[in-house]
Structure 1
Amino acid sequence: MPAFQSTFEELLQSWQLRLQDAEARETGWPARLETCIRICEESLLELRQWVMQSSFPGRDCEIYFFKQVKPVVMARYIYYQKIYRLHIGYFNGSGLLAKERLEKELHDIARYFTDNDHFYSYYRNGSTHHDELYFVRGQYDWRICPEVNHFDSLFSTSGDGKLAELMAYELLMKYVDGMLNPSPKLIEPAPLCGVTASRPAAETLQCTASRTDVVELGYALHAAGFFNNGRASIKDIMDLLSDVLQVNLRNHSHTFFQIRERKINVTKYLDELKIGLVRYLDQLDQLK
């Protein structure tokens, strides 16, 4: 397996270097994206040619290829195409329409994650118990991934195409969120002179709220203009909360979409905070 794996690690490394060079060399977005798309196409053709002319040493090698090699390249290929189409619409419309289009794109991405929640959880949790069903050729089942287009039984499995789409949408979500919230980074507070703590609070305090609760709190702070007089972006706020609380908020937009889709009590955590504070104040009053 290591020798087999090193072959594709070298190919992926070469592919990534070519992309980095293209992104650094091309200044205009159309030329840059077109070059990156072409590089991905060439790499996919190279991968397909290898599969056509060679055989996998074992089933674990086949799973490795269709789970960790092909989807990585395919995801970038999908990602660059979607950005290209997004820019065409973005720059041809007014600022308001462009903002609406980006927000709709973010909504559609979140909806895609929700519609594919089971497979997405399998991927994000690093699960392996269904790998032979998802990432081995000859196991294709349309009931698992019915949306897979252009099915190629020699170069595709039931799950590699879906995995590539999910990975591409993760990249696209970050890109769109960055376009919607391009404000500068939060200004770090100046250190307090002459004050040293015996033990930093970060070493003694641990966030025990759920990831969803933290996202709800972060969006509430953003909506209330809590940071920088309301000029801080939601991305900067989530980055701050993620660093301070040690909570993974990478896909906060997806989580926020799920919060918005709640049928009852959309502001569940904020309501719990209010109830908790009122209860605490009542207890203090009783002690008077």
Structure 2
Amino acid sequence: MLREYTEDLIKNLEKELDMLSFEDSNKLQQLEQAFHLSEVAVVKLRNYLDKYTFESEAEEIEFFKHINPKLLQKTIFYAEYFFIESKKPVGRKKSIKHHYNKAIRRLSMALDQKRDIYQYALLQENNMDSIYFLRNADMSKFRPYRDILLVNPKYDTLHSYMLGKAYAWVQLIDLLKVEIKELEKQEILGGERSRKLRWTAPKVQLIELIYALKASGVFNNGTADIKEIANTIGLLFDKQLTDYYRTFQEIRFRKKSRTVFLDTMQERLIQWMEESEGL
């Protein structure tokens, strides 16, 4: 029963988070919103736990080892991501890369402090489960951790909380590395500005094309996210793309054809083929 509830809770949260595009124009607002959505999910779970009694120690260990950290991870991730973006310098890409690299070093040091529990989870070990993931475990066996002051023993165990943090740090480090690569791409493409093609059709048509490419899975075996595709194509065609998610929602709710531009492209390509063949 608890598993089903938490699975639905996390699934609904991820749907809500997917609705946020984290565009540069309102990134802080959306990160703040993502944090509060995650926070609400944590509160819902804790309210549920107030009325729930674990059927066995095995169920309690399963929850605090595998489920609770995933939800904590999201809240911690968005809180830290918001902090990093709020301190991001304005202007030169070199300064922004320095800011991200500094954050990566700080997070890596924090992750190193939680290396033992992170490796324990990655290696799928279980010999310390009853110590790490039961709320009535003897806390005197643990080394002094500052995190212990932040843990509510009613809803978390120390190591469940630390594991959520470790997962968040890893996710954020990986994301910041991607952001740095995007900045480096922009620097390369920016140096080739004079040789770039310019998109002179309406921006909405380019956004329709970008989402079609995303849906088709043609980049990175389908793993490229919409932001990466939009940023790269925007730079390629000298077109600044913001609020593309909102534009996509408008495209979705068109009353007639939802793929006007793609339909027109298909018609004109067929026409061009027929004219080239002399038909």
For the aligned pair, the TM-score class normalised by the smaller chain equals: 0.5 to 0.7
C-alpha change, 1:54 and 1:111, in structure 2 (3 Å) is: same
Cα deviation per residue 1:31-67 (whole Å; 9 max; x = unaligned)?
A: 2111111111110001111111111111111112212
C-alpha change, 1:93 and 1:61, in structure 2 (3 Å) is: farther
C-alpha change, 1:131 and 1:23, in structure 2 (3 Å) is: farther
- Residues 150-165 of structure 1: pairs in structure 2 closer than 5 A: 150-165=150-165
Cα pair 1:134 1:158 within 8 Å, conserved: yes
Q: 2:65 aligns with which of 57, 64, 67?
A: 67
Cα deviation per residue 1:220-257 (whole Å; 9 max; x = unaligned)?
A: xxxxxxxxxxxxxxxxxxx9xxxxxxxxxxxxxxxxxx
Q: Which residue of 1 aligns with 2:14?
A: 16
Letter in 2 for 1:114: D
1: distance between equivalents of 2:116 and 2:52? 33
Q: 2:50 aligns with which of 35, 49, 52?
A: 52
* 2:199 is the alignment partner of 1:178: no
Cα pair 1:120 1:166 within 8 Å, conserved: yes
Matched residue of 1:181: which SS? Answer: helix
Q: Which residue of 2 aligns with 1:141?
A: 139
1: distance between equivalents of 2:116 and 2:2? 30
2: distance between equivalents of 1:22 and 1:145? 39
C-alpha change, 1:131 and 1:49, in structure 2 (3 Å) is: same
C-alpha change, 1:121 and 1:24, in structure 2 (3 Å) is: closer
State the percentage of identical aligned residues: 16
2: distance between equivalents of 1:92 and 1:25? 15
Q: Which residue of 2 aligns with 1:284?
A: none
C-alpha change, 1:97 and 1:40, in structure 2 (3 Å) is: same
Cα pair 2:73 2:168 within 8 Å, conserved: yes
Cα deviation per residue 1:112-139 (whole Å; 9 max; x = unaligned)?
A: 2333322221011111111111111021
Aligned length: 183
TM-score, length of structure 2 as denominator length: 0.59
Cα pair 2:28 2:82 within 8 Å, conserved: yes
Cα pair 1:15 1:43 within 8 Å, conserved: yes
Point out where structure 1 has 5 or more consecutive residues left out of the alignment.
185-238, 240-288
1: distance between equivalents of 2:22 and 2:151? 34
Matched residue of 1:22: which SS? Answer: coil
Cα pair 1:8 1:69 within 8 Å, conserved: yes
C-alpha change, 1:93 and 1:127, in structure 2 (3 Å) is: farther
Cα pair 2:89 2:99 within 8 Å, conserved: no
Matched residue of 1:60: which SS? Answer: helix
Give the C-alpha shift of residue 154 in structure 1.
Answer: 0.8
Cα deviation per residue 1:156-198 (whole Å; 9 max; x = unaligned)?
A: 11211100110000110111101211156xxxxxxxxxxxxxx
- What is the aligned-residue RMSD (CA, Å)? 2.4
Point out where structure 2 has 5 or more consecutive residues left out of the alignment.
186-219, 221-279
TM-score, length of structure 1 as denominator length: 0.58
2: distance between equivalents of 1:24 and 1:102? 17
Cα pair 2:54 2:60 within 8 Å, conserved: yes
Q: Which structure's residues are more often helix, by fraction?
A: 2
2: distance between equivalents of 1:106 and 1:25? 21
Matched residue of 2:88: which SS? Answer: helix
Give the C-alpha shift of residue 110 in structure 1.
Answer: 2.1
Matched residue of 1:34: which SS? Answer: helix
Flag as ranges the 4+ runs of structure 1 deviating above 6 A: 24-27
Q: Which residue of 2 aligns with 1:224?
A: none
2: distance between equivalents of 1:101 and 1:26? 16
Q: Which residue of 2 aligns with 1:106?
A: 104
Letter in 1 for 2:145: P
Structure number with greater CO (CA < 8 Å, separation at least 6) is 2
Letter in 1 for 2:68: K
2: distance between equivalents of 1:25 and 1:6? 33
Q: 1:123 aligns with which of 121, 124, 128?
A: 121
Give the C-alpha shift of residue 78 in structure 1.
Answer: 0.9
Cα deviation per residue 1:182-223 (whole Å; 9 max; x = unaligned)?
A: 156xxxxxxxxxxxxxxxxxxxxxxxxxxxxxxxxxxxxxxx
